[in-house]
A and B are shown apart, each in its own frame.
Chain A
């Protein structure tokens, strides 16, 4: 698991400030095969992380409560998901998969593993 606390260097900061949170989310999501937006205090996030680790996947985790722009991103995610809880959210291969229920449903119905393989997160 990779924990990313700062994805941009200091000199890039001014340009960063004007980036729309949703755009930032999309950018971060497309950088790695499996991206999880989480919060360090959230136990459901912990569960989802353990799910991927249990499958042998190495997800990239962004803790929103440790990110200076976390609040905005949290709001953007809430709008994106249409739910009151922003985290956990999983992106695989840059595409939104969803929250815990969607991830689990796709795992049970057998669509998660092929998706992971396609994104290069899993080898047989």
Chain B
């Protein structure tokens, strides 16, 4: 008869469990899948009671894991079958081996109890019950009558079962160690990836040597860099709390889960945000560099630098402009709507923006007043440039309107409203497919708009002399800076 006396359980809990602990840590720890975990039960070992609670779901990170004494043992409790066998009641589980059966756990415990010689007290009881079946799932009852007769048999059986339990726990330990190794490998791989990404991030930070690195890789690298610093810097206190409170086994468990969670979180965030966030970061950096170059140009113009040297600076700014258009085209490829939304611009800029950027004709109008003296030829050139950029802008705007109209027509081509809801699925899918195609042309419009801006700047550079071009670039920058300053003032304005 296998029984656990309440008092004995108290005093021996710890030693018994520590024995258990040596045999196997969380038994049958299925790490392959976090979902698996939720299907297992936990044996809740409280200080003053051996209670068996079944079917508590671990349920991922959010569930609270009840741990008693300090050793948590996770065992799979599948439907249990009870056999009465000549006064010996064994609990046989229908669960497959290697998954931490109740049987084995119970037997290990009981085997220990045998070894620690407490059974004599227990055996003498007439009718005792296996305590703590709080949730009423497991009750093991002995029958006193047969105990003496089958004493030897019991011992033999117990020994056999001990051996069996030890063997199984060795197997489980092996499997668990294997899982640990795999997860450690994953961790190191992740670390390596982050290291690489960090290096890539450094490349982007030091200069726009974009032709040397794959640009998108650079953006991703930056983003990974940002994330890695967040991960390493951020929840460390959380990890410490876990380590302090939970037993080793659970810490490992939690770490493994978190690693997987982080892996999937990183990949999810990267796919979602890499385009938009990466562009925003790149643009901010570009803007800082641009300001620096313009200030340099300003000093040069004010100090009446020689034309040749000035030309170098002007060419530098023009090349730097090419860089922003390259960044924008990358940004448009990953997230055209983000570029069109202008969320990467300040509010005032955003309000007056056209198709994902500044309006060239507007800038040229501003320039016209600030560039004299211009020769007649130059004046004509600037006027023509302003006119042609205006015409191109209008054409693209009308194209966009046509696109919007076409999209509206497509989306309303199948009946709408309460009656039309039960329409043909094939029609709906076809409608969506056509609309997707139309949306794809949005990217093309954005591209053409950026090309227009770039070409207008280049033509302006061609028409003007070096000194005039320098002044023009400074004027453009100053105007946009004022617009940005206006945004800041507006955002900080006192409201009643």
A contacts, CB < 8 Å to B: 41-44, 46-48, 50-51, 54-55, 100-101, 104-105, 107-110, 112-113
Contacts and interface: CB of A to CB of B under 8 A. Distances in A.
Contact of A47 (B395, B456, B462): B395
Given A41-B406, A43-B438, A44-B444, A108 B399 contact: no
Given A51-B391, A107-B392, A110-B384, A43 B452 contact: no
A7 B388 CA distance: 33
Interface in B399-421: 399-400, 402-403, 406
Contacts of B389: 108
Nearest to A48: B395
Contacts of B388: 107-108, 110, 112-113
Contacts of A43: 399-400, 402-403, 406, 438, 441, 445
B433 to A, nearest CB: 13
Contacts of A42: 441
Contact of A108 (B392, B406, B441): B392
Interface string B439-459: 001001101100110011001
A48 B438 CA distance: 17
Nearest to B404: A43
A50 B452 contact: no
Contacts of B447: 101
Given A101-B448, A107-B388, A108-B385, A47 B396 contact: yes
B399 A104 contact: no
Given A43-B402, A47-B448, 12 more contacts: A43-B400, A44-B445, A46-B399, A47-B395, A101-B451, A104-B452, A107-B388, A108-B388, A108-B459, A109-B462, A110-B388, A110-B459
Interface in B357-406: 381, 384-385, 388-389, 391-392, 394-396, 398-400, 402-403, 406
Contacts of A109: 455, 459, 462
Interface residues of B, number: 28
A121 to B, nearest CB: 15
B26 to A, nearest CB: 56
Contacts of B391: 51, 54-55, 107
A113 B392 CA distance: 13
A50 B395 contact: yes
Nearest to A45: B399
Nearest 3 CB-CB pairings of A with B? A47-B399, A51-B395, A43-B403
Contact of A50 (B381, B399, B441, B455): B399
Given A108-B385, A108-B389, A110-B388, A50 B398 contact: yes
B392 A51 contact: yes
Nearest to A107: B388
Nearest to A53: B395
